[in-house]
Amino acid sequence: MTERKKGWLSRNLKEIRETLFENSPEDSSFQKKQKAIGWYMFLILMTCGALAMLVAVSFVH
């Protein structure tokens, strides 16, 4: 138990990345780059979605 406990967000992000964009040793360098780009695109889309929700809620209020 010497490892520091990670936060809720970092644990869930790690689990999502391992589930959707699993890195395997058999992947070529091109596949690894594709998975990395896909992961960052996923994060950008989720961030934009969260910001859109905040803007929508602020107009409703």
The pLDDT of residue 50 is: 96
Only one residue has tokens 């929700």, namely 53
- pLDDT averaged per 10 residues, the chain (length 61): 73 92 90 94 96 95 73
> What pLDDT is stored for residue 46 in this prediction?
95
pLDDT in tens, 36-47: 999 999 999 999
CB burial string 8-33: b at 16+ within 10 A, e below:
eeeeebeeebeeeeeeeeeeeeeeee
pLDDT of residue 57: 95
pTM: 0.76
The domain segmentation of the chain, as residue ranges, is 30-61
Distances (CA, A) of 16 to 11, 25, 58: 9, 19, 29
Is 16 within 8 Å of 40 (Cβ atoms)? no
**Block residue for tokens 């989720």:** 46
